[in-house]
Amino acid sequence: MFGGLKRAISKVKEKLATTTLNEKDLDDALWEFEINLIENNVSEEVVRKLIDKIKNELINKKIPRFTKIDEIIDDTFKNLIEEVFQQLPKYDLVKMIKEKQEKPFVIVFLGINGNGKTTSIAKLCYKLKNQYNLKCLLACADTFRAGAIEQLEMHARKLNVEYIKHKYGSSPTAVAYSAVEYAYNKKIDVVLIDTAGRMQTDKNLVDEMKKLIKVIEPDFVILVVDSLTGNDAYYQAEMFEKEIPINGYIVTKVDADEKGGVPLSLIYATKKPILYLGTGSNYEDLIEMDKEWLLKNILK
């Protein structure tokens, strides 16, 4: 996982540490570093920020011999990550669920087909049920894609939780509404609402989603993005955000991501937190992302 980014960082450290650097060598090394970062899905704005910070350390402060190059590079990443996390709202989802007076706590999941939305709903349900003893209900509000209802239904059966479904083609808002009402009557803690994987550019589908959000007034909206889609992950996030307020993300498939730039670039671009990372296709493969995790997986 994230081997590409780790290699890019090791390479620049090595290059800067082993040559007797003049300004041209430094420029060349940083230029190569820039390209390597971009190749590993680090967004251009994050690359710019990192390179500027490194240049500032190395040139303006006139570090005499580049003996501490490892530390300078590591510190640049650490400081940037620190800075980015400071700007993020901090959510403790489990605490929020437990503290909500009037049940249920309602979470809507958005995201493009194939990103891992249904799998992530099932994983979060598994976590909330087994780790925190919370009662969950799944709402099959993706009434659009063939097989979507059966897929969520299959997870509900495996996880031994209740679910609400209507027919294909019926209103997603109606499904979500029935689910919230059912959960309210049955004192279920959390409703997890699956929605049709829509392109952020599909106006009708986006309007339908806006309607659902307006009627249901969820407590939390999660956008599921796929780390393998690279730059597209934060473009999707920015496009969705323009239409629907998002509280945070689940970034899936990081286990298969050989590059590694998406999580940092996503939170940098949108100033919204990643609540969980998908690290495989089993129910247990959902972990929280904090700055220590990010640092550990980028720098080591």
- Burial state string for 31-48 with b = 16 or more CB within 10 A and e = fewer than 16: eebbebbbebbbbeebbe
Q: Do β-strands 248-252 and 274-278 pair in parallel, antiparallel, or remain unpaired? A: parallel
Position 200 contacts ligand GDP (CB under 6 A): no
274: left (phi over 0), alpha (psi -120 to 50) or beta: beta
Position 15 contacts ligand GDP (CB under 6 A): no
Looking at residue 45, its amino acid is E
Q: Which stretch binds ligand GDP (CB under 6 A): 89-97, 165-173, 230-238, 251-259?
A: 251-259
Q: Looking at the chain, how many residues does it have?
A: 300
- Give me the residue whose beta carbon is nearest to ligand GDP: 278
Decide if 38 contacts 5 (C-beta within 8 A).
no
Least distance in angstroms from the C-beta of 161 to ligand GDP: 16
Q: Which of residues 33-72 bind ligand GDP (CB under 6 A)?
A: none
Task: Report the distance separating Cα 115 and Cα 224, nearest Å.
Answer: 6
Least distance in angstroms from the C-beta of 194 to ligand GDP: 7
Least distance in angstroms from the C-beta of 256 to ligand GDP: 5
Using CB under 6 A, pick the residue from 279, 283, 289, 298 that binds ligand GDP: 279
How many residues bind to ligand GDP according to rule CB under 6 A? Answer: 18
CA distances from 218 to 4, 9, 98, 211, 237 (A): 38, 41, 15, 12, 19
Position 278 contacts ligand GDP (CB under 6 A): yes
Least distance in angstroms from the C-beta of 120 to ligand GDP: 6
Burial of residue 213 (CB within 10 Å: 0-12, 13-18, 19+) is buried
* Residue bearing tokens 């060349």: 28
Position 245 contacts ligand GDP (CB under 6 A): no
- What are the residues whose beta carbons fall under 8 Å from the beta carbon of 296, sequence distance 6 or more? none
Over the window 90 to 129, marking each residue x when it contacts ligand GDP by CB under 6 A and - when it does not, the resulting string is ---------------------x-xxxxxxx----------
Please say whether the dihedral angle defined by the alpha carbons of residues 95, 96, 102 and 108, taken in this order, is positive or negative.
negative
Using CB under 6 A, pick the residue from 205, 256, 287, 295 that binds ligand GDP: 256
Least distance in angstroms from the C-beta of 96 to ligand GDP: 23
> Looking at beta carbons only, is 8 or 286 nearer to ligand GDP?
286
Position 143 contacts ligand GDP (CB under 6 A): no
Using CB under 6 A, pick the residue from 39, 168, 174, 280 that binds ligand GDP: 280
Interaxial angle between packed helices 172-186 and 203-216, expressed in degrees from 0 to 180 and rounded to the nearest 10: 20
Q: Which stretch binds ligand GDP (CB under 6 A): 1-9, 48-56, 129-137, 272-280?
A: 272-280
Q: Which stretch binds ligand GDP (CB under 6 A): 32-40, 41-49, 238-246, 275-283?
A: 275-283
Give the chain's radius of gyration (CA, Å).
22
Least distance in angstroms from the C-beta of 173 to ligand GDP: 19
Binding site for ligand GDP (CB under 6 A): 111, 113-119, 197, 252-253, 255-256, 278-281, 285
